């Protein structure tokens, strides 16, 4: 066997065991796979009723349960490898793998049938009385299936009757109501947790915005400091140029003055030439004086 098929959902624990044993799930029975490679899984009527209650949003009818078992009856003709879900779930992965290889693993004969819930038993018993064919098909499946050394569930109706006493059903009904209240409490706690998560998220968003504002202010401050540093550097360069200009001007004036005195001592008899030299030196000095005043004016504006 390589595949398994069930008309209803099975327990996740059983799914894991089947997967570990190498069996794959079939989504539909209408396939071209060899029937001897498929394991058909079924459940008792009360288990089907409980599973349908979890799966379906609307209540199932007696006719729908009967149609479910009639489909199983037809499938049991096609697929010869049959097992109940609860017996199969008692096996481990190694035993299921042995079953796939043609062996027949055995279970402890002291294992009892699954317990029945009073309310589900009461409803299943009423359905079985209205549609007797349901129990008949279930018992036929029991006779065809792998029992792994356990007995056939031939006393299924009697077991339903023993567990469907009205007082027990009422207690079960009240427990269902308590479970519903517990579910409401869980939902309320979940909502409170979500509200706390939302508050924490909003606080983080606010802190993030504050950090971004601080970063923007710091960037602006750094930009201003950088601009001031550029201005200070430019002013220092201008001051350096001014100092070099003053030094050069002072040297030029001192040199011209010494040249005039020296010229007068050597040639006192030539007043016209001396006058020409003096006027020439003053003409060369005038642009320097103007440049110095312009530089002083620029420095005052920079200050």
Q: Which of 37-41, 246-250, 272-276 has the lowest mean pLDDT?
A: 272-276
Question: How confident is the model over 210-223, as a mean pLDDT?
Answer: 83
Question: How confident is the model over 72-81, as a mean pLDDT?
Answer: 93
Distance CA 91, CA 148 (A): 9
pLDDT of residue 175 exceeding 80: no
What are the domain boundaries of the chain? 3-164, 185-302
Question: How confident is the model over 136-141, as a mean pLDDT?
Answer: 96
Question: How confident is the model over 96-102, as a mean pLDDT?
Answer: 92
Sole residue written with tokens 């490898």 = 81
**Residue 263 — pLDDT band, cuts 50, 70, 90?**
low
CB neighbour list of residue 38: distance below 8 Å, 6 or more residues apart: 1, 2, 3, 4, 5, 26, 79, 81
> Taking the CA of residue 172 as centre, how many other CA atoms within 13 Å lie in the half-sphere pointing to its CB?
15
DSSP 32-85: -S-GGGEEEEE--HHHHHHHHHHH-SS---HHHHHHHHHHHHHHHHH--EEEEH
Mean confidence (pLDDT) of the chain: 80
pLDDT of residue 151 exceeding 90: yes
Answering whether pTM is above 0.75, one says no
pLDDT in tens, 34-68: 999 999 999 999 999 998 888 888 888 999 999 99
Q: Which of 26-40, 155-169, 234-248 has the lowest mean pLDDT?
A: 234-248
Question: How confident is the model over 236-242, as a mean pLDDT?
Answer: 70
Q: Under a CB-based contact definition with an 8 Å cutoff, are residues 136 and 78 in contact?
A: no
**Residue 254 — pLDDT band, cuts 50, 70, 90?**
low
Distance CA 273, CA 58 (A): 131
């Amino acid at each position: 066997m390589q595949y398994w098929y069930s008309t209803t959902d099975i327990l996740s624990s059983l799914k894991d065991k089947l997967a570990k044993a190498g069996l794959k799930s079939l989504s539909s029975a209408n396939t071209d796979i060899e029937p001897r490679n498929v394991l058909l899984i079924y459940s008792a009527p009360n288990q089907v009723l409980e599973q349908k209650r979890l799966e379906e949003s609307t209540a199932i009818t007696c006719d729908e349960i009967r149609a479910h078992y009639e489909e199983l009856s037809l499938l049991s003709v096609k697929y010869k490898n049959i097992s109940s879900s609860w017996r199969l779930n008692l096996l481990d992965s190694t035993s299921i793998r042995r079953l796939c290889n043609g062996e027949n693993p055995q279970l402890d004969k002291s294992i009892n049938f699954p317990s029945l819930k009073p309310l589900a038993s009461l409803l299943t018993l009423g359905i079985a009385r209205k549609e007797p064919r349901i129990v008949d098909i279930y018992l036929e499946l029991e006779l065809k299936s792998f029992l792994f050394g356990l007995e056939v569930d031939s006393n299924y109706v009697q077991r339903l009757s023993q567990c469907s006493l009205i007082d027990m059903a009422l207690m079960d009904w009240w427990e269902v109501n308590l479970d519903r209240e517990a579910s409401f409490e869980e939902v309320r706690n979940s909502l409170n947790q979500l509200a706390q998560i939302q508050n924490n998220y909003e606080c983080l968003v606010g802190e993030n915005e504050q950090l971004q504002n601080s970063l923007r202010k710091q960037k602006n401050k750094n930009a201003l400091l950088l601009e001031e540093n550029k201005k200070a550097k430019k002013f220092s360069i201008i001051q350096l140029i001014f100092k070099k200009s003053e030094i050069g001007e002072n040297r030029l004036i001192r040199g011209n003055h010494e040249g005039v005195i020296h010229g007068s001592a050597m040639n006192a008899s030539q007043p016209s030439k001396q006058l020409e030299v003096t006027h020439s030196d003053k003409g060369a000095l005038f642009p320097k004086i103007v440049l110095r005043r312009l530089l002083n004016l620029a420095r005052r504006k920079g200050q």
